Amino acid sequence: MIRPPAWLALATAAALVTLTPLPAAADGPEQIVNGTFDTGTAPWWSTGNTALEVEDGRLCADIPGGTANPWDVIIGQNDIPLVKDETYEFSFFGIATPGRVAKALVQLPVDPYTQYLSANPELSVSGNDYRYTFTSPVDLPGAQVAFQLGGSATPWRFCVDNVSLKGGAEPDVYEPDTGPRVRVNMVGYLPAGPKNATLVTEGTEPVAWKLRRGGEGGEVVAEGDTVPRGVDGSSGQNVHSIDFGAVTAPGTGYTLEADGETSRPFDIGADVYGELRTDALKFYYTQRSGIPILDELRPGYGRPAGHVGVAPNRGDVEVPCQPGVCDYTLNVKGGWYDAGDHGKYVVNGGISVHQLMSAFERAKADGVHKDGDLDIPESGNGVPDILDEARWEQEFLLSMQVPEGKPYEGMAHHKIHDAAWTGLPLLPHLDPQPRELHPVSTAATLNLAATAAQAARLFAPYDAAFAARNLAAAKKAWAAAKANPARYADPADGVGGGAYNDDNVTDEFYWAAAELYLATGEKEFKDYVLASPHHTGDIWRERGFDWGNTAQLGRLQLASVPSALPDRARVRQSVLEGADKYLAVQKAHPYGVPYNPPDYDWGSNNLVLNNMVVMAVAHDLSGEAKYRDGVLEGLDYIFGRNALNQSYVTGYGEVASKNQHSRWYAHQLDPSLPNPPRGTLAGGPNSAIQDPVAQAKLQGCKPQFCYIDDIESWATNELTINWNSPLSWIASYLDTPAAAPGPCKVAYTNHGQWTGGFTTQVTLTNTGTKAIDGWTLSWSFLGGQSVQRHWSADLGQDGATVTARNLSWNKTIKPGGSVTFGFLGADAPGPNPRPERFLLNGTLCT
């Protein structure tokens, strides 16, 4: 997640001249000098790569191609006074041949180049009039008007006329189009799950509602009365709730009517989220650095490899440190671009790759994640695609570790990105900026330790050498972090990329110790886990967990991954308590959101989803339906049951985010570029509204309204790898069987353990009332263990997952009856705990 400064308008500007600001009045005086170009081009100026001329009474210039950033070509005028709190109208007539999207700015002409107006006019060959208003936050004697025209691969011609800036304007009040006042999950609802909606109304008494199937005039399948909920603090709206959960019939084109309004259409069906898991995970391939994105795999998204050293790229193959930081270079090619920029960050990559690996680890026995299901270059190699995608990032994290013999050996560099900010749009292979490694940090080092320990378990059945490499890196990183426990990222290190500073890494220590304990079973890591205050404290923040708050990752892993941890029962119970906390928040919220702080955070959607991850793990642990229902209702908010009545996932719902902040999914700025791929999550409402677009349009917004689907709103509308990771995790969870126990019970007993091997007996009992006629039982080992010999069943193995099938003589299991089979196994490095997730014919057993 990058937090670009508001000064991305680098310009060759003249020095400020001290002037007395002119008082603005209604229809105030003209601030632009020679905006009609009747007296030539002065006092307009341009960068040295273009020349100004007057043609047909307009100012024109030939804009060169082959530039990278908008500010590489500028036409501007300086010494324009602004008065604080005055509202100005900025207008002009513009032409582009051929058509282009330009940038029009009113800004401070020196560092930090603060923008008071930032607009992106889509210029046409025939020409159009453009008008914008803004309110100046400062008294400034010498602002600058600038047209930024660079960033095009090919040359074009720009003409402008009637440029005007006047005070006394009526401010444009931004009012989002929220559509019908009945807010629903536009993607749909599962037949057996909760079904809730929210009505926005001034009424305080219940009103009637009707559910129709088949559109206007269609069959009424349910009706009832709304439940008034009062004024919702997160939106400022008076709202009612609607519960139509009694309807279970699948169908398409349902609509909900209440108070004279009709909702947007939605479906009810078991497959409403059928493509969400693959779409959310496919996001990562097009975020890859260091590899061409193949158009045949992602039609419309193909592009050359970014940052491989092909001009104008400097490349990530031999990257030096910032001056004075180190005396070596590293090959850090690969990995995922963090967000809509070209930076790569270990702390953000850590939680992202962890959640992908965790989604796989949770569902190993279910067979949900397969080789070939994501259509990536590695498909067909015998490894589930989700692990191949995770490996692309994990290899990058390993490459960020300080090599042997160098200061801080074993620690990880915090990040690598451009030496200076770049503008939008800019495809990765066209980025001309030098790349730099930034100093090591304890937080980054512990992220590496945690993810490498996890990777050591998961990759062991597929690539023992890669697993061993990860375990060695994890232990080395752990030792280096203990030796340097307080090397924090510099909060001022935010030029060219985000700082990602964190001055409390006790949570990262806990998470890393948990992962190392699960991977090794070693006493050092167990003792650290048990002694950490995060192990027993209330870590369930109302605002959820994220890259800077990772104790929750350790707690969730210790609860869900089998181990011999002494107090594991208490740990598992604590997850239920955390989930109950979020369920209580959700129940009290009239929009059904398990997140309700007084102000919404940057990336609030990812925090909502992470709170849902806690609920989902609680469901896995307990089998209680209330937790799964909480997850499903939380998704309603993401997919349209919110104050803005829009889905935050591209391609999902009738109205959905599509202009997320990105340098290459930049259709809003360059029609030849695509919007983000289907399944991309937008960051969501952010009360701090740090960017100029949000500040211009969202002042005074209630939390849910602090969002705008604009590519320049990096504070509310960014996309990031760590926001799609909980979406991917939840979508994977929905793709697996519910945790309600089926009519079966499994006893799994290791009868012997010796160096290199073990023997196990499994007893499968039919606890139902009907005979089981043919059975297939599956489970997964923790790591690289394997079946060598077996008896009384036909056993096969794929990765860590074992599948046992009946023989002809034990095919039928009568009610209350059992079958027993066994096997000899080959051991692998690390512990070999009893599996806890067994599926009989696709249904979970106790």
| Active site amino acids | 341, 661, 709, 718
Rg (CA), the chain: 29
Q: Give backbone dihedrals phi and psi of 704, rounded to 5 degrees, phi first.
A: -65, -20
Q: Cα(165)–Cα(132) distance, rounded to whole angstroms?
A: 10
Q: Cα(52)–Cα(584) distance, rounded to whole angstroms?
A: 64
Tokens of 24: 């603005």
Helices (H) and strands (E) in the chain, counts: 14, 40
SS3 assignment, position 571 = helix
* Contact yes or no for 68/127 (Cβ under 8 A): no
Give the containing element (helix H, strand E) for 166: strand 156-167
Tokens of 203: 């009424």
Q: Cα(447)–Cα(480) distance, rounded to whole angstroms?
A: 12
Burial 246-258 (b: 16+ CB within 10 A, else e): ebeebbeebbbbb
Burial 362-387 (b: 16+ CB within 10 A, else e): bbbbbbbbebebbebebbeeebbbbb
SS3 assignment, position 601 = coil
Q: Residue 754, exposed/middle/buried by CB under 10 A (0-12, 13-18, 19+)?
A: exposed
Alpha helix (H) ranges present in 363-407? 385-399
* Contact yes or no for 639/649 (Cβ under 8 A): yes
Q: Cα(66)–Cα(430) distance, rounded to whole angstroms?
A: 9
| 297 Cα distance to chain centroid | 22
Helix H, strand E, coil C: the string for 341-374 is CCCEEHHHHHHHHHHHHHHHHHCHHHCCCCCCCC
- Which among 595, 563, 567, 505 is positioned nearest to 233, based on CA atoms? 595
* Contact yes or no for 225/241 (Cβ under 8 A): no
- Which among 777, 780, 762, 758 is positioned nearest to 821, based on CA atoms? 762
Give the containing element (helix H, strand E) for 441: strand 440-441
Q: Cα(797)–Cα(419) distance, rounded to whole angstroms?
A: 49
* Contact yes or no for 434/317 (Cβ under 8 A): no
β partners of residue 344: 416
DSSP 677-708: PTTPBP----TT--SHHHHHH-TT--GGG---
Q: How far is CA 385 from CA 255, 264, 375, 839, in A?
A: 37, 35, 8, 22
Tokens of 27: 């229809």
Q: Cα(490)–Cα(494) distance, rounded to whole angstroms?
A: 8
- Which among 793, 66, 775, 7 is positioned nearest to 426, based on CA atoms? 66
Q: How many CA atoms lie within 13 A of 530 on its CB side?
A: 11
Beta-sheet pairing, 188-189 with 266-268 = parallel
Q: How far is CA 623 from CA 70, 124, 461, 636, in A?
A: 54, 59, 29, 22
Q: Cα(376)–Cα(356) distance, rounded to whole angstroms?
A: 15
* Contact yes or no for 83/24 (Cβ under 8 A): yes
